[in-house]
Structure 1
Amino acid sequence: MPSARPHINLDEPRYDQSTFMGRAKHFFITTNPLNVLATGKQLDEAKDIVERYKKGEDLPDLTDEQIWDAKHLYDSAFHPDTKEKMFILGRMSAQVPCNMTITGCMMTFYKTPREVIFWQWFNQTFNALVNFTNRSGEHPVSPVHLGISYTLATGGAVGTALTINQLVKKFPPLIGRFVPFTAVAAANCINIPCMRSREIMHGIPVFDINGNRVGESKNAARSAIAQVVFSRIMMATPGMSKLLIFEPCHEKTNIMRRLVWIHAGLHMLLLSFFLVFATPLCCALFPQKSSMAVKHLEHDLQEKIHKLPHSIDRVYFNKGL
């Protein structure tokens, strides 16, 4: 009699998330730009496979590899907390094609206030969409709160870019080329906390090691957002920094000065190379299922946890992306 097939734990990623390499392998799969091309039918089929398998169905017609493929496709398109299908441009698999296009234009068109305003607004609108789509937690955000957060995020980011642009006018052109990157880094520090401000005010769900919910924590939310801000800044660093090296060569060429869209296209081509690697590697800097010592939680939540029948010293939470 053949032995039963070992059960796959689809509640956890395929690779060990306690190591950087394990997390990197996981995010190379989930941020794969080709996942954007998956049809709605394919995504729904992947979700059906994952949900049926989690309920205990054996699915003998599918190999382990096919089950993992369904899990990876599911993870790339469905929110880990709400289980809802995410808007396509907000998924991490859309980061490479979208960011290479936007950042390429930002690195090309930055010399006039009009160019700075438009491309910083466009970039921060996209970032706001990504931050909202990949927020932690499961509570809906009211349209009013979302509108205020969006206005603060994009307004703060554009204001930061314009201010920096004014400050560097007295410096050599090389310094001016750092304006887009500096503005992006500063804007991430504004945009992400604004778009996830509900989490800061009300907290995010925290769980014990077995997945049992033990409460909501504002301190965990702050930790999660800080990790995401750092990861996003690091994600933008390789591509934008390398372009600063190529920029002077491009600007010395007459054809580049006249055909700015070719210039932007070269930026996008270079960025695509860097983003394919930077996106998953920077997502992997911190575990998706992050943790915090109970002693660092709010005092009232600590008391609630200490009253539980089973003692725990750490809680776990989804940090978002």
Structure 2
Amino acid sequence: MDPNLLYWKSEGQAFLGRLKIWFRLLDPSSLLSSNAEIENARSTLGGARNLCEKDEHALTLSLSSVHADSGAPLPFLFRPPAFLPISAPLVVASLLPHSSVKPALLWQFLFQSYIAGFNYANRNSSSQQQAQTASLKQWLLIAGSVSYTTVAGALPFIIIHRLGITTAPLLNFFRSVLPIPLSAILASFSVLAIRSEESDNGVQVFDSNGNCIGISGAAGDQAVKDTALSRAALLGTTAAVPNVLLFLLQKRRLFQKNPLLVAPLRQVSAAVVFGLMVPVSFSLFPQLGTIKKEKLEKDLQAATVDSKLFYHRGL
């Protein structure tokens, strides 16, 4: 089992423990480390099982920059510490009440493209390590997912302009209410579509000693669904909280006298909520997920005596 997964096995099974770890791993300063430093950190960790006793900087660098299946450094833009700095301005811009369709489509395209790339780079690739490049099917899934989520994300503004909606209640519904469930659904859909090969091809499962016992489609399906739920929680909450906050504060005298305060409050609150929700959403489910033996395929059940198996969930 990879050193990263060994660490998550020993330290990352409780939610608060995972949350504390992710607050440390999301430090953007680790992005300054070169690939040579990352590889040196990996060699420092080696295959040791008492990873918490090793150099903390090397451990943090490995957990935040190395893919646990391939053992190779993740693409710079799609490492977990880069997620918040890059996606925060994109998600804020994509949630703005745009005055026309074109900027809504542009910001949705940029945001959904980055999310798709992050989902793909941080997937479980244990059953695909022999393939050097993504398959045609995978590229089609990525392109189709980005296209669909871009148009669907801008759908409220498309409806407003197509139908010429001008009444305040309908405008509030399409600009403030509809984006909340839509953001959660599209975030979940992106994970389910781009990582669907994990459900089809399966992922590696490990026994309690860290030995791989085979490839399981059931574990792959569970990994994808758990990650989709965590991403839905991230984007759904980010869309909901600013709108609820504005609804409550717009009745205050300060905002009635100064309506120009509404726009910056929306943007700042969206950025703050998103920043707080990133480590929370990453921590909702363990990086080293567990699955009961009876849920596995029959041949895998016969290959182990353990009642609980482990798999890499991805991110």
Flag whether TM exceeds 0.5 (same fold).
yes
Larger deviation: 192-201 or 40-49?
40-49
Q: Paired residue for 1:317, among 307, 311, 315? A: 311
Distance across 2 between alignment mates of 1:156 and 1:9: 34
The answer as to whether partners of 1:160 and 1:186 remain within 8 angstroms in 2 is no
Summarize the Cα distance change of 1:87–1:10 in structure 2 as closer, same or farther, 3 Å threshold: closer
CA distance 1:109–1:36, change in 2 (3 Å): farther
TM-superposed deviation, 1:189: 2.6
Q: CA deviation at 1:99?
A: 2.0
Distance in 2, matches of 1:294 and 1:10, equals 19
Output the CA distance in 1 between the equivalents of 2:227 and 2:180.
Answer: 17
Q: Which residue among 72, 91, 99 is the counterpart of 2:60?
A: 72
Tell me what 1:260 maps to.
none
- 1:284 Cα deviation after fit: 1.1
2:5–2:287 CA contact under 8 A, matched in 1: no
Partners of 2:43 and 2:308 lie apart in 1 by 33
SS of equivalent to 1:135 = coil
Taking structure 1 as the reference length, the TM-score comes to: 0.80
Over aligned residue pairs, what C-alpha RMSD do you find?
A: 3.2
Q: What's 1:60 paired with?
A: none
**Number of residue pairs the alignment of both structures matches:** 295
For 1:1-321, what aligned pairs fall within 5 Å after superposition? Answer: 11-13=6-8, 16-51=11-46, 54=47, 64=53, 67-108=55-96, 110-138=98-126, 139=128, 140=131, 142-165=134-157, 169=165, 171-175=169-173, 176-244=175-243, 245-246=245-246, 263=263, 269-297=268-296, 301-306=297-302, 308=303, 310-321=304-315
**Which secondary structure does the structure 2 equivalent of 1:214 belong to?**
strand
Gaps of 5+ in 2: none
Deviates more, 1:196-205 or 1:240-249: 240-249
Question: Equivalents in 2 of 1:269, 1:115: separation in Å?
Answer: 20
CA distance in 2, matches of 1:145, 1:25: 37
The letter for the 2-side match of 1:192 is V
Structure-1 separation of matches of 2:84 and 2:256: 25
Counterpart residue identity of residue 90, structure 2: I
Alpha carbons 2:156, 2:179 under 8 Å: kept: no
- 1:13–1:26: 8 Å Cα contact kept in structure 2? no
Shift of 1:83: 0.7
Distance 1:159 1:92 in 2: 26
Structure 1: gaps spanning 5 or more residues: 1-7, 57-62, 258-262
Shift of 1:22: 1.0
